[in-house]
Amino acid sequence: MDLQQAAARAEALRREIEGHNHAYYVLDAPTVPDAEYDKLFRELQTLEAEYPELRTADSPTQRVGGKPLPQFAPVRHVVPMLSIRTETDTEPTGARAFDARVRRELGLVETEAAVEYAAELKFDGLAINLRYEDGVLVQAATRGDGETGEDVTQNIRTVRRIPLRLIGAPPPVLEVRGEVFISRPDFERYNDKQRALDRPTLVNPRNGAAGSIRQLDPAMAAERPLSFYAYGLGETRGWELPQTHGGVLDALAVFGLPVCEHRAVVQGAEGLIAFHARMREMRDALPFDIDGVVYKVNSQALQQRLGFVTREPRWAVAHKYPAEEALTTVEAIELQVGRTGAITPVARLAPVFVGGVTVTNATLHNEGEARRKDVRIGDTVIVRRAGDVIPEVVSVLMERRPAGANGEPLHPPFELPKTCPVCSSAVEKPEDEAIARCSGGLFCPAQRKQALLHFAGRRAMDIEGLGDKLVEQLVDHAIVRTPADLYKLGLVKMINLERMAEKSALNILAAVEKSKHTTLARFIFALGIRNVGEATAKDLARHFGKLDALLAADVDSLQQVPDVGPVVAASIMRFFAEPHNVEVIEQLRAAGVKWTEGESAAVVNSPIAGKTFVLTGALPTLTRDEAKDMIEALGGKVAGSVSKKTDYVVAGAEAGSKLDKAQALGVSILDETQFRELIKT
């Protein structure tokens, strides 16, 4: 191959690889297997090694990171990267106040039409300016003080969601503003990997993103799972700008830049309020952190009329949500014993308002995490609470740690006790596990209560009305010691409990009686076998068909079940090797608990066995849980997002972006009637 042929082949490879990158990292729709991608990448590497003059700035091979830098060079922004005003009023009045200011500045009277706004998310990461010349990324810079930032081009090249070359017909100069961030799943995976290698972990996604971009060694930045969304413009040349901000974002997406799907063009204050509420409801389900939403006047012409005040645009505002992190102090460190005996250190905190509620407790996860973070009584700590997630201690402000007269810390490091704080049984901690456990089993009252609550749960035996307070009374009064005792309850015992009316007692007894008829999968899940969740319980029920077959299974036969490996198999074997566990099962059978067996036969003849479904929107007669149960009972799987591996999307009213993605990928879309016809119910 001569130089001319090599140049043509290298250019073709670059285009093909970047096309695959865009499909994989931006569209979440892989176009080739990993092995094929690797083959193309290695071919390009070989060509560039043989002909170094063919190596270009936009080559995919340049994402791995260059030599470490002695320092970051300053970059002066042609168009300043100004911040926008923050509206700290998290209620609807915050949106109304912004709309009122805009209307006042534009001289609009009450009878005139509503202002059109572009509403989008406020990402919790690091703002970046990307400069493309003739479609090629030539420079990336941080915001800095707004006038001058730092050149972080080498590190930005490692972010695979950021195209090194734009597609289509971009203008001669295009500066794109956006946010670099780390998604929550990527953050957790990265930290898990770091812990396994005994390396430092990231404190939180935001700090992780900012710290990664400001690494002087690009190879370290390349190891971090960074992501990116574009949300605006800097300098442009030779481009007739779209007339609206929404149009700008659409154009950036056409150029191959990732733009967040969660955005909308809305009318007036009420449209802003609805968007703010909708995103707040979705906030915890998003795979990345946001701390609010951003409103921008959609019309570019109106933006120019409104202009700026004290270096902030009058036409935009960030409307915040309640803070998810706050400072407080640790008043004590106590221990909680969970359903499986897991012992969790819990920090008792001076009350602090965070994530929309007052928090007084935060988990320290386990002994290793408590010691790694070195959380001690008296420490000032950062506490994080996001949605329904259990509050956790993120880190300690060491400079505020209380000290004694000798300058040493006033309180010692956390140490795990040798005995259970509830039942005084020995505490066990296998060398290969992070979690310490009480060895008391069902004899430990703390485990007994949690085991009963799990047994009665909606996805297990579904005993309606059997909640925390009632279980606490039943255990504390020694009325119930094992799940089998629930089926021995009588009306007299029930109405003698505190605050238990006869009608309530009868309702609970009826729910207990109803729960006697269940499925094998629910029964297995209800037993609370460690490492056996709902999905694994269903797999076990399908595979073995009968409980006695599961009881007789050895490690090898257990590992024939999908997704059951050595750890899960060992947990199942240990559970059934305990005589008191088998005794409880026999007591439950004797009490009349029955389940549908032979479920594997239904799956054999199922038209959807092994198929992957995604549910979206509201179905006319089925809840999402009911539809999920139908699918899984017939051997299908339910996924949370649409990809090329999805076989069917079941769509109801107000189906959102999942439906759009399914249509784009050509995935089969079913309504409820078609779904029922497919599974013949």
Give the pairing of strands 612-616 and 648-651. parallel
pLDDT for 211: 81
8 A C-beta contact, residue 319 and residue 292:
yes
Residue 381 predicted with pLDDT over 80 = yes
Whether 117 contacts 295, CB under 8 Å = yes
> What string of H, E and C letters represents the secondary structure of 521-539?
HHHHHHCCCCCCCHHHHHH
Which contiguous run of DSSP H or E holds residue 543?
helix 534-544
- Residue 406 DSSP class: T
- Residue 546 appears among annotated catalytic residues: no
Which of 34-48, 99-113, 143-157, 315-329 has maximum average pLDDT? 99-113
Q: Is 679 helix (H, G, I), strand (E, B) or coil?
A: helix
| pLDDT, mean over the chain | 87
End-to-end CA distance of the chain: give it in Å, rounded: 62
Contact (Cβ atoms closer than 8 angstroms) between residue 568 and residue 536: yes
Strand segments, DSSP code E, in 507-642 are: 517-519, 594-596, 612-616, 637-639
Distance CA 242, CA 289 (A): 29
Confidence of residue 95 (pLDDT cuts 50, 70, 90): very high
Q: DSSP H helical segments within 28-149, as ranges? A: 34-50, 92-106
The share of the chain scoring above pLDDT 90, in percent, equals 44
Inter-residue contact 416 to 426 (CB < 8 Å): no
More confident residue, 191 or 471: 471
In order of 241, 422, 423, 468, 494, the CA distances from 448 in angstroms are 66, 11, 11, 12, 19
Model confidence over 279-331: pLDDT tens digits?
988 887 888 888 889 999 999 999 999 998 877 899 999 998 876 778 999 99
Q: Residues 591-644: pLDDT tens digits?
A: 999 987 654 445 556 888 888 999 988 888 888 888 888 888 787 888 888 888
Work out the average pLDDT over 652-663.
Answer: 85
User: Which residues on neighbouring strands pair with residue 347, listed in sequence order?
Assistant: 333, 362
Give the separation between CA 26 and CA 453, rounded to whole angstroms.
42
- Residue 541 CA to residue 402 CA, distance in Å, equals 55
More confident residue, 30 or 502: 502
- Which candidate, 95, 85, 90, places its Cα nearest to that of 115? 95
| pLDDT number for residue 386 | 63
CA angle 265, 268, 274 (to 5 degrees): 70
The confidence score (pLDDT) of residue 562 equals 80
Q: Which domains does the chain have, with CATH numbers?
A: 3-64 (1.10.287.610), 85-320 (3.30.470.30), 325-400 (2.40.50.140), 441-515 (1.10.150.20), 519-602 (1.10.150.20), 606-679 (3.40.50.10190)
pLDDT of residue 456: 94
Query: Which tokens is 367 given?
Result: 């002994």
The tokens for 198 are: 């005994």
Question: Do residues 474 and 452 lie in contact, with contact meaning Cβ atoms separated by under 8 Å?
Answer: yes
More confident residue, 551 or 577: 551
Nearest to 96 by CA among 356, 319, 321: 319
pLDDT over threshold 90, residue 23: no
Q: What distance in Å separates the CA atoms of residue 172 and residue 163, rounded to the nearest whole number? A: 16
Q: Label residue 59 by pLDDT band (50, 70, 90).
A: confident
Q: How confident is the model at residue 25 (pLDDT cuts 50, 70, 90)?
A: low
At 67 the pLDDT is 54
Residue-level pLDDT at 601: 47
pLDDT for the residue 331: 95
* Number of residues written out for the chain: 681
Residue 572: which H helix or E strand, with range?
helix 566-577
Q: Which residues contact 393 (CB under 8 A, 6 or more apart)?
A: 330, 347, 362, 363, 364, 373, 375, 381, 382, 383
Nearest-CA neighbor of 202 among 182, 219, 174, 172?
182
| Rounded average pLDDT over 351-356 | 80
Q: Is 315 exposed, middle or buried (0-12, 13-18, 19+ CB in 10 A)?
A: buried
Q: Write the pLDDT tens digit of every residue in 513-558.
A: 999 999 999 999 999 887 898 889 988 998 999 999 999 999 999 9
Q: How many CA atoms lie within 13 A of 141 on its CB side?
A: 24
Phi, psi of 435 (to 5 degrees): -95, 130
* H helices present in 226-347, as ranges: 245-254, 268-282, 300-306
Residue 472, classed as helix, strand or coil, is: helix
Catalytic residue of the set 39, 67, 122, 546: 122
Confidence of residue 112 (pLDDT cuts 50, 70, 90): very high
Q: Identify which of 160, 286, 279, 175 has the alpha carbon closest to the alpha carbon of residue 228.
A: 160
pLDDT at 63: 64
Mean pLDDT of all residues in 145-169: 89
Residue 106, pLDDT > 50, answer: yes
* Mean pLDDT value of segment 399-422: 90
β-strand pairing of 316-320 with 85-87: parallel
User: Maximum CA pair distance of the chain?
Assistant: 94
**With bands split at pLDDT 50, 70 and 90, how would you rate the model's confidence at 356?**
low
Q: Is the pLDDT of residue 666 over 70?
A: yes
Please state the φ and ψ torsions of residue 422, each to the nearest 5 degrees.
-100, -50
